[in-house]
Amino acid sequence: MSLLNPILGALAFAFVALPIILHFLKRKRKPIQWGAMRFLIEAYRRKRRRMTLEQLLLLLTRCALVLLFALVVGRPIFGSSSKRSGPTELYIVLDDSVASAAREGGSEEAFETLKARAVALIDTLSAESGDRAGLILMSSPSRSIIAPASSDLGAVRRAIERAERTDAAADLHGALGALDQSLTADEDDAPAVTLAILSTLRAGSIDPDRPLPRLASEGRDVRLIVSAAGDTPMSNVAISAIEPVRSVVLGEAERDGQALVRLERSGVNVGEAQRVAVTLATTGTSTTSRAVAEFAPGSTTAEVMLGFVLPAAENAGQPVLTATLPDDANRADNAAGLPIDRRGALRVGIIASRPLVGQVGIDRFTPADWVRLALAPGEASGELRLVDTTPSSIDAPRLATLDAAFLLEPDAVAAESWFLLRRFVEHGGLLVVMPPAKDSVQLWTDAMTESLGLDWQIAREPVSTDEPMRINTESRPPSDRLLAMIAGELDQLAAGVSFEKALPVLPTEADDSALLTLSDGSVLLAAKHPMTPSGRTLPGLVVYLASPPNLAWTDLPTRPLMVPLMQELVRQGIGLASDSAVRTAGRTGELPGRATEVLSEDGEPVELPIRRAGQYRLLDDAGEDAGVLAVHADVRGTRTDVVPTAVLEPWLAASVGDATHLSWLDDEGNASLSSLAEQAGMKRAAVNPWIVWLIAAALVLAILETALARWSARSMEQVHGEEAIA
Amino acid sequence: MTDARIASQDASLYLHPQTLARLGSFELRAKMIVEGVMSGMHRSPYQGFSVEFAQHRPYSPGDDIRRLDWKVYARTDKLQIKQYQQETNLDLVLMVDNSGSMGFGSIDFAKASGQGSASGSHGRQKWTKFDHATAMAAAMSYITLQQGDRVGLVTFADAITGLVDRSGQRSTWRPIVETLSTQTLDKPTDYSRVTDQVLAKINNRCLFVLISDCFEEPEHIRSALARIRHRGHDAIVFQVLDPTEQSFAFDEPTIFEGLEGEARLRINPRAIREGYLEVLGEHMDAIERATLSFGFDYQLVTSGSWLGPTLAQFVAQRNAKIKKGKMG
């Protein structure tokens, strides 16, 4: 049993001393000279035991009456909370995610308030009473700082005070899973568990569409106390992405560039049009660019293109773009960085067998010749350096020096070489595959899709039509970044290109990798990142062109589209294939490229996953500089939409059984275990039959006390009626 | 003012005119025929028989010397009185209890005296049981002396504390009153001892009037009455109680202190009232039973009531009993 009002209850309990004091208190009275003393003594002798019993009974009744009164005032909790009479085991799940960076009052982050509440909760516990406490931080991936619960309450308090907000999203599911593992009742009389979830509980912190796991408490009573959900209307705009138009910048000289900044918004302003100023700055230069992004009414996304200037390579290290927004409800997502991948030149491998004779007429050009010609049209082109190799000589060292590879004779690739190509792709390489210009059945496609982890289905026989096939530019995907630079002229460039034959990718509904299709609907150009068997997307990019530059199959090599298409496949493809140096806080995963270690701006090593947004220095295993890593706040966690209590309550209560085990902390932050208990007992107190029984018992005792008190006076009334004994 | 005058005033206070007026309408009848030295107006139950010598008895001061048997004196050198059967007289021995418990009173003195006096001669504010007892004794002695009978007085506690020898002279009333008014009330009672002392002084048969609260073990009182009965005397027992003693009308927890040196007792009267009244009732029943078992009379007297009605009612009942028992 516990008390909802322990202070009031204690005061009321103290009043138990009152009847006891009164019982033993002897008032000084003037003695009465009495003649018939012998009869008084005799009567006292006879009645002494009964009088003592009656007085004791009266005293006990009065004490019990006061005790019951104290219980009624103290409002006890019985039943499911019966174990609360013992020590308390309190687990605090503290929301240190980016959602707690919200500023409801505009003064301080919600995280500071949540920490203060957590500390106040710990301060209500008593190690002498056997109370224990644990701490789990909610940001993804959740961390069990102190779990199982420890009796060293000071350590828990210090851990709370040391906790810092992260820029990762909240992971309440993971936190409850961690708690569930800690709730192993290895003692027979394990105390009841109180779980306090301290979070703003806005849309960024929780996902009500995903049911919470039920805590398997092994018979232990788990009571859930939740901080009041934030219900103040707030509006927040976040930078969801920053994408350069050209992923890889070539050359050492100063250059101009453009970057697309994508924004997301949440909160009360979603229904209205909104204009947000975006600023883009580049390290190494003092120039910044500004633009205004406009949200349409009802739209949650907006984007804006901003220009930037990259300084000359000798003036700075790796350049980093930084986009910023004005302050709003959550400032953690108002800045995002992007390291620019700047390279002096690209090494492109042409994997094809060498012709036995020297170059002859244009009608004898092989696909490799056309590709080589498209990639290096002039002698002075120094940005793309071509490396010739043959399918039979594919080896890892050679591939490691390449940024991209054109595989023009995939049918000549040995099985083991496919795995080398797979590793090349996984390390951020771009692999452009074209079928051989052969009319026979082609069996290499299965080996390619299997080894590269692609779910394409490629025809085994070339498809030919009576009428030449054209490029259907109308079905292009809008988000295509590979051909983004020529998208404006693509219609014009593709107009005169015809295809006689092709070995196309069979279109599937689920596949969105098609970039160009032919007039018969078959896929001409597709690009895809390789995937692991478990479905995880890997760096690197595989591009498949269904019709090789062979004049027997297509007139593409002779058309103006050929050069820009090949150039863009390489220049953009390499950028898309490269492992981006941008990570999301809490989801940093593996480091990009060859980096093995991360240092903070202060030069301190940083553990993975990185939870704080910002820019970090990367080092390879030799300790050499490996570039810059930009970590963004997880914008999933910065949504400020208010989740209605009607939705929250059943969703939260499912983790502990039902709503009777759930209570809300008040919004004032006056957190104490007593107020917690009071609030926890609110619902049950309204229907708690024990209170009714206590009041009834108190009434019965009051009647009994009155009867006992009057029992002593009964004789006097009889004597008054008789007036005299004789 | 001399002590005698104080005593006289006290006596007159006790003998309230209203009390004497009520008594004057009745003749005090002897319960039994008492042989005495005086022949009086008392009618002999043996009336109609010749005057016959009954017995000798030793001479006591106050006896008529004409009743001396000179022949016996001549032979034995002892003074003997001849007693005749037809000559009856009433020797009244008043035994008044002046033990400590008799000093209890709950009624204002002025109210009890009927004269508006604020206090008694000793400055007491309350009308005690002893005050009531002395009033009764003075009234009875006065009436008896008026009838020419002999009256003696014994005041006692654990021993005889005051003694007035029997005498028929009307001036005897004054020493009686003086004796009653000079007693202290602080000792316990010892009925056995006192009875033995009194009986040792009395040879002829007397009417003993015991005025006491009888706060003594019933067995002791019974033993004392038995000795009186054994010596052929008659007795009337007036048990004097204060009205508060009979009701125990206290409400608040109180410290009670005994008047005869008992220990103090802190008690809640409401809790013990029933038991107290039960014990008191048992005691009074025992006293009454013991009295009646010897053929004596018993009368409860409440000190808060007037003397007159109590004595008049007693005398009337007494006369009726004599007539019925002896004449019939």
Interface ipTM? 0.72
- pLDDT at B310 (0 to 100): 63
Specify the 3-state DSSP secondary structure of A239. strand
Q: Is A54 helix (H, G, I), strand (E, B) or coil?
A: helix
Partner residue facing A724 (CB), from B246, B266, B275 = B246
- Is B63 in the same domain as B209? no
> What gap in Å lies between CA B119 and CA B123, rounded to an integer?
5
**Range of A102-106, A168-172, A675-679, B117-121 with top mean pLDDT:** A168-172
Confidence class for position A710, pLDDT limits 50, 70, 90: low
Positions of E strands within A340-421:
341-343, 346-351, 384-389, 404-407
At B177-218, the pLDDT tens digits run: 888 878 888 888 899 899 999 998 888 878 889 999 999 899
Among B256, B266, B300, the strongest candidate for a mutation testing the A interface, having the largest count of A CBs within 10 A, is B256
Pick from A385-389, A705-709, A711-715, B142-146 the range whose average pLDDT is largest: A385-389
Please judge whether B259 and A718 are an interchain contact, meaning their C-beta atoms are less than 8 angstroms apart. no
Per-residue pLDDT band for A622 (boundaries 50, 70, 90) equals confident
| pLDDT value, residue A323 | 93
Highest-scoring range by mean pLDDT, A151-160, A204-213, A513-522: A151-160
As a dihedral over the C-alpha atoms of residue A25, residue A28, residue A33, residue A37, rounded to 10 degrees, the angle is 10
Whether the per-residue pLDDT at B1 is higher than 70: the answer is no
CA–CA dist B316, B322 (Å, integer): 10
Do B75 and B167 fall within a single domain?
no
Residue A43 and residue B246: Cβ atoms within 8 Å?
no
Six token digits for residue B186: 């602080």
Domain-wise residue ranges, chain A = 2-78+688-722, 81-232+642-687, 235-343+630-638, 346-577
Q: How far is B247 from chain A (nearest CA, A)?
A: 6
Which of A35, A39, A725 shows the shortest C-beta gap to B259? A35
Residue A342 CA to residue A663 CA, distance in Å, equals: 55
Tell me whether residue A234 is exposed, middle or buried, using C-beta atoms within 10 angstroms of its C-beta: 0 to 12, 13 to 18, 19 or more.
buried
Structure tokens that stand for B297 in this block: 């009379």
Phi then psi dihedrals of residue A517, to 5 deg: -125, 160
Q: Give CA separation, B243 vs B102, B111, B240, B249, in Å.
A: 13, 14, 10, 9
Mean pLDDT along residues A402-430: 89
CB A493 within 8 Å of CB A473: no
Inter-chain CB proximity B260 and A30 less than 8 Å: no
Are B68 and B101 part of one and the same domain? no
pLDDT band at A169 (very low <50, low <70, confident <90, very high): very high
Q: Which spans in A498-606 are helix H? A: 562-577
Contact B257 A34 (CB under 8 A): yes
**Contact (CB<8Å) B271/A47:** yes
CATH number attached to the domain at A81-232+642-687: 3.40.50.410
Note the pLDDT of residue A219.
Answer: 65
Provide the domain count of chain B: 2
Percentage of chain B surpassing pLDDT 70? 69
Residue that has been written with the tokens 């009186």 in this structure: B228
Given an 8 Å threshold on Cβ–Cβ distance, is B129 in contact with A712? no
Write the residue in A33, A44, A719 that is nearest to B277 by C-beta.
Answer: A719
pLDDT surpasses 60 at A503 = yes
Strands A346-351 and A384-389: parallel
**What is the tens place of the pLDDT at every residue in A481-502?**
888 888 888 888 888 899 998 9
Q: Is the pLDDT of residue A288 over 60?
A: yes
Q: How many CB pairs under 8 A join A and B?
A: 125
Is residue B185 located within the same domain as residue B289?
yes
Whether the pLDDT of residue A12 is over 80: the answer is no
Which residue of B252, B256, B302 is in closest CB contact with A31?
B256
Q: Which residues of B touch A31 (CB under 8 A)?
A: 254-257, 264
**Chain B CB contacts of A719 below 8 Å:** 247-249, 273, 277
User: Average pLDDT of chain A?
Assistant: 81
Asked whether A560 and A493 are in contact (CB, 8 A), the reply is yes
Q: Please list every residue in chain A whose beta carbon sits closer than 8 Å to the beta carbon of residue B268.
A: 51, 712
Please state the rounded mean pLDDT for residues A16-24. 74
Which tokens belong to A507? 């279109």
State the pTM of this model: 0.55
Cis peptide upstream of residue A539 (ω within 30 degrees of 0)? no
Q: What six digits make up the tokens of A233?
A: 């209307």
Q: How confident is the model at residue A406 (pLDDT cuts 50, 70, 90)?
A: very high
Chain B hits for A714, CB-CB cut-off 8 Å, are: 274
How distant, in Å, are the alpha carbons of A245, A257, A281, A529, A608 from that of A630? 18, 19, 14, 22, 14
Contact (CB<8Å) A44/B275 = yes
pLDDT computed for residue A640 by the predictor: 87
Q: What is the CATH number of the domain that holds B282?
A: 3.40.50.410
Q: Which two tokens stand for residue B12?
A: 């007159």
Which segments of chain B does DSSP mark as H helices, in order? Answer: 3-14, 17-24, 70-76, 109-113, 129-146, 173-181, 191-201, 218-230, 243-247, 269-293, 307-322
Range of the domain at B224: 3-31+89-327
Comparing alpha-carbon positions, the chain B residue that sits nearest to A27 is: B253
Omega before residue A148 within 30° of 0, cis: yes
pLDDT of residue B23: 36
Tell which CATH classification among 2.170.190.11, 3.30.930.10, 3.20.20.140, 3.40.50.880 matches the domain A346-577: 3.40.50.880
Q: How far apart are CA A355 and CA A412, in angstroms?
A: 14
Cβ contacts (< 8 Å) between A42 and chain B: which residues?
279
Interval B139-145 mean pLDDT: 77
* Residue A15, pLDDT above cutoff 80: no
What residues 43-62 of chain A have any CB closer than 8 A to a CB of chain B? 43-44, 46-47, 51, 54-55
Instruction: Determine, yes or no, domain membership for B43.
Output: no
A719:B104 CB<8 A: no
A chain contacts of residue B129, beta-carbon cutoff 8 Å? 35
Tell me which of A73-77, A321-325, A691-695, B79-83 is least confident: A73-77
SS3 call for A183: coil
Q: Which of A53-67, A141-155, B135-149 is the least confident region? A: B135-149
Q: How far is CA B43 from CA B50, B85, B318, B323, B328, in A?
A: 14, 12, 15, 11, 15
B126 in contact with chain A, both atoms CB, cutoff 8 A: no
- Check A35 against B264: CB less than 8 A apart: no
Residue B214: name the closest of B317, B128, B302, B99 by CA. B99
Residue A506 has pLDDT above 70, yes or no: yes
Q: What is the pLDDT at residue A711?
A: 63
A616, A610 Cβ separation under 8 angstroms:
yes
Tokens of A82: 């019966």
B306 neighbors B18 (Cβ within 8 angstroms): yes
Q: What is the pLDDT of residues B58-96, one digit of tens each?
A: 887 777 787 888 888 888 988 888 876 444 466 889 999
At residue A311, the pLDDT reads 82
- Residue (of B216, B227, B272, B10) closest to B100 by Cα position: B216
SS3 A570: helix
Nearest chain A Cα distance for residue B273, angstroms: 6
Closest CA to A186 of A223, A219, A138: A219
**Residues comprising chain B, all counted:** 328
The correct CATH number of A235-343+630-638 out of 2.60.40.10, 1.10.10.10, 3.30.1300.10, 3.30.1360.120 is 2.60.40.10
Q: Could you tell me what percent of chain A has a pLDDT over 70? A: 86
Task: Name which residue leads in pLDDT, A710 or A292.
Answer: A292
Q: Are A637 and A646 in contact (CB under 8 A)?
A: no
pLDDT above 80: residue A313: no
